[in-house]
């Protein structure tokens, strides 16, 4: 067997694999002999079928199978030994005059080669790093939410406050709606709708239009018992018969509430409570800030790292790689959609290799422990033992899909830490509302 490579240019090459009879003949002969031993052909005893008949019936199929196996093994070994960084997979070149009746064969494969390039992290225009802080408005909103959660409902005879909570039954016979629900009047949209509730008492029935009834259409899903798609732009009339009117009395901002929220004597004043709310919010916002930073660094590196790709090869490869072959136009469209992602994959791979960023098993185990503790904390299990963590981690890490998912998450964190240490950023402190407005609007 002989393998040669012709470099067309820096990004494209053709590999030729020559296979001689001595490369495949012994294996083919052995398989055909095994077939002969076990073949059941009418008129012949088992093991006594003439070899000529076995070759006539099975010879070419075995030959094709063995040559293809040799070919794939040889090609994979060559790419590994030559340390060729290829994009996609080798594409076999068509041969119009190919003949399996010959004894020697030649196969050619097109290769798309990864480009050589350098990644510059010292950029002229630094990436913005957002530090999201909880403003006074957000802190007070969270404070009131806590007071509501631990407050109590006091029964009333009549609706007279825009913060009242009204229980009752929504009905619309035509749509098959009959649902007992509790409505927080603060979530009602517009004075016109709100005024329909004012002055109403237990036993009264109010007629309401569902369109723009709530500040968020999704409220209709639970209140009317309808599905998500139906809730959007639903425009029907419903009757709401009141069964209860309540006002919510907020819990006092006292030590009893502080202890319920954070444990005994962990917080001792409203000032400390507000500081704790800010601290917890900062941790939550850090995840969003980090995700945005990763997105912005990715876009910036793609824009500032210039290199060519074997475009025509990749479009040809895209045409053949899926379950269903694509047309040329479809392949071009698919390439254009995926080009940015491919560029970042190459940039990311170079950063990882050049800086020896690795995910070791011990790192993965420690990372899985942290993720398990976070999940257990959500269910009130704050101090799991090391044995519990080890047992759960062992089950998770025995699943290859989970190992792959966690490894990708951990490598993503390592990359983000690397960027934070090696790139210059423009720090910008914003409130959450400012962050949302700047990023999404």
Same domain, 102 and 170: no
* Whole-angstrom distance, CA of residue 252 vs CA of residue 151: 8
Same domain, 238 and 334: no
Token pair 């199929």 is found at 61
Q: So what's the pLDDT on residue 395? A: 93
Rounded CA-CA distance 219/270 in Å is 32
- Residue 311: name the closest of 286, 339, 288, 291 by CA: 339
Claim to verify: residue 294 and residue 371 sit in the same structural domain:
yes
**Burial degree of 11 (CB within 10 A; 0-12, 13-18, 19+):** buried
Q: Which residues contact 309 (CB under 8 A, 6 or more apart)?
A: 11, 87, 112, 115, 339, 342, 343
Q: What is the CATH number of the domain that holds 196?
A: 3.10.50.30
Domain boundary (88, 113, 138) is at: 113
**CATH number of the domain encompassing residue 313:** 1.10.3120
Angle at which helices 255-262 and 270-304 cross, to 10°: 40
What is the model's pLDDT at position 4? 95
- Residue 379 within a domain: yes
User: Residue 280 to residues 249, 277, 405: CA-CA distances in angstroms?
Assistant: 25, 5, 27
pLDDT at residue 230, rounded to an integer: 87
Is residue 162 domain-shared with residue 53, that is, in the same domain?
Answer: no
pLDDT of the residue at 64: 93
- Nearest Cα neighbor of 170 from 184, 183, 186, 157 is 183
| CA dist 47 → 60, 61, 218, 282 (Å) | 20, 20, 75, 79
Asked if 184 and 159 touch (Cβ cutoff 8 Å), the reply is no
3-state secondary structure 390-406: HHHHHHHHCCHHHHHHH
Residues 309 and 370 occupy one common structural domain: yes
Q: Are residues 300 and 425 in the same domain?
A: yes
Residue 259 lies in a domain: no
Asked if residue 128 is part of any domain, the answer here is no
CA 70, 72, 77, 79 dihedral sign is positive
Among residues 62, 90, 113, the one where a domain terminates is 113
Residue linked to tokens 């939410």: 145
Q: How many helices (H) and strands (E) does the chain have?
A: 14, 11
Q: Evaluate whether residue 43 is within a structural domain.
A: yes
- Measured CA to CA in angstroms, residue 201 lies from 156, 167, 192, 204 at distances of 9, 11, 18, 6
Total domain count, the chain: 3
User: Per the domain annotation, does 144 fall within a domain?
Assistant: no
Query: Does residue 143 belong to any structural domain of this protein?
Result: no
Residues 210-230 as b or e (16 or more Cβ within 10 Å = b)? beebbeebebbbebbebeeee
Domain harbouring 28, CATH code: 3.30.70.1050
Going by DSSP bridges, is the β-strand pair 86-92/425-431 parallel, antiparallel, or unpaired?
unpaired
Calpha distance 86→71 (Å, rounded): 17
Is 43 in the same domain as 174?
no
C-beta atoms surrounding 66 within 10 Å = 19
User: Do residues 432 and 299 both lie within one domain?
Assistant: yes
Instruction: Tell me, yes or no, whether 120 lies in a domain.
Output: no
Question: Dihedral sign, CA of 236, 237, 242, 245?
Answer: positive
- For residues 427 and 296, state if they share a domain: yes
Question: 279 with 310, same domain?
Answer: yes
Residues 327 and 411 in one domain: yes
For the chain of 441 residues, list the mean pLDDT of each consecutive stretch of 10: 95 96 93 82 75 85 93 94 94 90 93 96 93 91 91 93 94 93 93 94 94 89 90 90 94 92 90 91 90 96 96 94 88 95 96 95 93 83 85 92 94 96 94 90 69
Among candidate residues 249, 281, 299, the one where a domain is terminated: 249
What's the DSSP call for residue 334? Answer: H
Residue 339 shares a structural domain with residue 381:
yes
Number of residues that this document lists for the chain: 441
* 51 beta partners: none
Q: Which domain holds residue 47?
A: 2-113
Q: How far apart are CA 329 and CA 95, in angstroms?
A: 25
């Amino acid at each position: 067997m002989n393998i040669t490579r012709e470099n067309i240019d820096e990004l494209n090459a053709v590999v030729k694999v020559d296979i001689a009879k001595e490369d495949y003949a012994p294996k083919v002969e052995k398989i055909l002999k095994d077939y002969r031993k076990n073949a059941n052909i009418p008129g012949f005893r088992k093991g006594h079928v003439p070899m000529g008949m076995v070759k006539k019936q099975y010879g070419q199929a075995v030959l094709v199978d063995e040559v293809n196996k040799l070919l794939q093994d040889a090609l994979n070994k060559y790419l590994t030994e030559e340390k060729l960084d290829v994009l996609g997979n080798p594409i076999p070149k068509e041969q119009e005059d190919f003949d399996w009746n010959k004894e020697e064969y030649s196969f050619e494969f097109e290769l798309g080669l990864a480009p050589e390039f350098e990644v510059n992290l010292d950029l002229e225009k630094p990436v913005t790093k957002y530090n999201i802080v909880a403003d006074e408005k957000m802190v007070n909103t969270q404070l009131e939410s806590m007071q509501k959660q631990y407050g109590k409902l006091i029964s009333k005879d009549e609706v007279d406050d825009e913060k009242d909570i009204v229980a009752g039954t929504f009905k619309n016979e035509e749509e098959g709606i009959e649902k007992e629900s509790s409505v927080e009047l603060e979530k009602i949209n517009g004075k016109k709708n709100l005024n329909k509730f004012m002055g109403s008492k237990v036993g009264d029935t109010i007629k309401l239009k569902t369109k723009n009834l709530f500040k968020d259409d999704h409220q209709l899903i639970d209140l009317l018992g309808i599905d998500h798609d139906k809730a959007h732009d639903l425009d029907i009339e419903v009757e709401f018969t009141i069964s209860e009117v309540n006002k919510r009395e907020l819990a006092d901002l006292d030590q009893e509430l502080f202890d319920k929220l954070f444990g005994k004597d962990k917080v001792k004043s409203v000032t400390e409570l507000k500081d704790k709310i800010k601290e917890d919010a900062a941790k939550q916002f850090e995840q969003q800030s980090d995700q945005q930073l990763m997105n912005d660094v990715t876009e910036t590196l793609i824009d500032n790292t210039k290199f060519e790709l074997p475009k025509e090869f990749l479009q040809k490869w895209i045409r053949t790689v899926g379950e269903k072959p694509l047309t040329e136009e479809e392949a071009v469209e698919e390439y254009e959609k995926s080009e940015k992602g491919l560029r970042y994959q190459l940039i990311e791979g170079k950063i990882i290799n050049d800086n020896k960023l690795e995910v070791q098993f011990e790192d993965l185990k420690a990372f899985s422990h942290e993720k398990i503790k976070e999940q257990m904390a959500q269910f009130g299990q704050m101090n799991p033992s090391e044995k519990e963590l080890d047992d759960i981690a062992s089950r998770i890490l025995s699943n290859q899909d989970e190992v792959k998912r966690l490894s990708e998450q951990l490598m993503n964190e390592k990359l983000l830490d690397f960027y934070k240490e090696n790139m210059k950023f423009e720090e910008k402190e914003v409130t959450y509302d400012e962050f949302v407005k700047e990023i999404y609007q």
